[in-house]
């Protein structure tokens, strides 16, 4: 069924939106153009892939904790194949890469309108692509519905503390110059929010953990040049480099099935944790 669907490359417009359609945080068309532009300059894009590759490696490593043979896994928002670089045949037999960019030679799929039939996929993985969807609960519901019973979803997203050094510097500069603050960094989810959203989407046994990656830049990118022009100073290191912290939220959720382990009733334990410890 999946093979026939991919051959036709039919995009089914299914809506699971739980928020008003008029409320759009992100311009999806602009986001696609950004991805197209990055894909058109492959040489330059590869020089800045170190962060995505590192996070993809940590996501792929979590497949080792899944003790089952996976035939087909869908990589949602694959980009140039960051996940594919780090998976082996021992983890899965087939990886289907999907991306919304028309410049990437993959199955073109928008994370807000998945084309997969219900109960058709064993596993879905997404590394840093769900940050830019307008209806995150709806996308998670679509992912859950496309999974087979007892299928698994693994994901990674930027957390709310990402680039806090940059945001703090911008806020201090704007407060001094403009007596007010404007949003300069895209809104990001909190780890506690993601746990609730996984449960709300219908996933069982949701697991959320948080990690941080700090990159020290010899100089800041375009936004920081504005601060330098205003004579502002960033939170820098003693050697003059500029730290940028990326908070990563890792997600795991399972589609419920008759084999899904269930928590026992409160008070049903026959051993005391106090005795064990």
Residue 23: the pLDDT is: 63
Per cent of the chain over pLDDT 90 is: 24
Number of domains in the chain: 1
Residues 136/197, Cβ–Cβ less than 8 Å: yes
52 pLDDT tier (thresholds 50, 70, 90): confident
90: domain CATH number?
3.40.50.150
Question: Based on C-alpha coordinates, what's the Rg of the chain?
Answer: 21
What does pTM read for this prediction? 0.72
SS3 252: strand
State the residue range of the domain holding 66: 28-163+186-216+248-255
For 23-33, the pLDDT digits (tens) are 677 777 777 77
Q: Which residues pair with 245 in a beta bridge?
A: 214
The CA distances from residue 218 to 90, 170, 212, 230, 241, in Å, are: 39, 19, 20, 19, 5
Q: Which residues pair with 75 in a beta bridge?
A: 97, 125
Greater confidence, 152 or 48? 152
- Within-domain flag for 266: no
> Does pLDDT of 140 surpass 70?
yes
CA 262 centroid distance within chain: 27
Residue range 59-75: average pLDDT? Answer: 88
Greater confidence, 123 or 178? 123
- Within-domain flag for 52: yes
- Within-domain flag for 237: no
Residue range 8-18: average pLDDT? Answer: 35
Residue 248: the pLDDT is: 93
- Within-domain flag for 272: no
Complete DSSP assignment for 39-55: HH-HHHHHHT-HHHHHH
Q: What is the mean pLDDT of the chain?
A: 77
Residue 17: the pLDDT is: 39
Residues 109/76, Cβ–Cβ less than 8 Å: yes
- Within-domain flag for 79: yes
219 pLDDT tier (thresholds 50, 70, 90): low
- Nearest to 159, CA basis, from 114, 115, 94, 209: 209
- Within-domain flag for 105: yes
- Within-domain flag for 133: yes
For 158-215, the pLDDT digits (tens) are 988 888 777 777 777 777 787 776 666 677 888 888 999 999 999 998 999 999 988 7
> Does pLDDT of 112 surpass 70?
yes
- Within-domain flag for 264: no
- Nearest to 211, CA basis, from 191, 193, 192: 191
Per cent of the chain over pLDDT 70 is: 73
**Whole-angstrom distance, CA of residue 195 vs CA of residue 192:** 5
Residue 249: the pLDDT is: 94
**Whole-angstrom distance, CA of residue 160 vs CA of residue 267:** 36
């Amino acid at each position: 069924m999946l093979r026939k669907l991919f051959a036709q490359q039919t995009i089914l417009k299914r809506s699971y939106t739980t928020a008003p359609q008029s409320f759009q945080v992100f311009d999806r068309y602009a986001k696609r153009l950004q991805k197209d532009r990055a894909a058109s300059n492959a040489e330059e894009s590869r020089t800045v892939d170190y962060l995505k590759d590192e996070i993809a490696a940590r996501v792929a490593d979590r497949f080792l904790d899944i003790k089952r043979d996976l035939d087909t896994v869908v990589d949602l928002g694959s980009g140039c194949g960051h996940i594919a670089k780090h998976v082996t045949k021992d983890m899965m037999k087939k990886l289907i890469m999907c991306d919304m960019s028309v410049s990437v030679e993959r199955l073109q799929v928008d994370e807000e309108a998945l084309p997969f039939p219900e109960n058709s996929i064993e596993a879905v993985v997404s590394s840093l692509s769900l940050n830019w969807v307008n209806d995150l609960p709806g996308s998670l519901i679509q992912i859950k519905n496309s999974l087979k019973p007892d299928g698994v979803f693994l994901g990674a997203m930027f957390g709310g503390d990402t680039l806090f050094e940059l945001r703090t510097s911008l806020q201090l500069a704007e407060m001094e110059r403009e007596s007010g603050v404007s949003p300069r960094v895209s809104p990001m989810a909190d780890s506690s929010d993601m746990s609730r959203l996984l449960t709300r989407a219908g996933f069982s046994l949701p697991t959320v953990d948080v990690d941080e990656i700090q990159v020290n830049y010899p100089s800041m990118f375009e936004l920081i040049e504005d601060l330098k022009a205003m004579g502002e100073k960033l939170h820098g290191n003693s050697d003059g480099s500029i730290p940028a912290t990326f908070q990563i939220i890792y997600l795991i959720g399972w589609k419920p099935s008759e084999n899904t382990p269930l928590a026992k009733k409160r008070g049903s334990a026959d051993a005391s944790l106090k005795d064990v410890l």
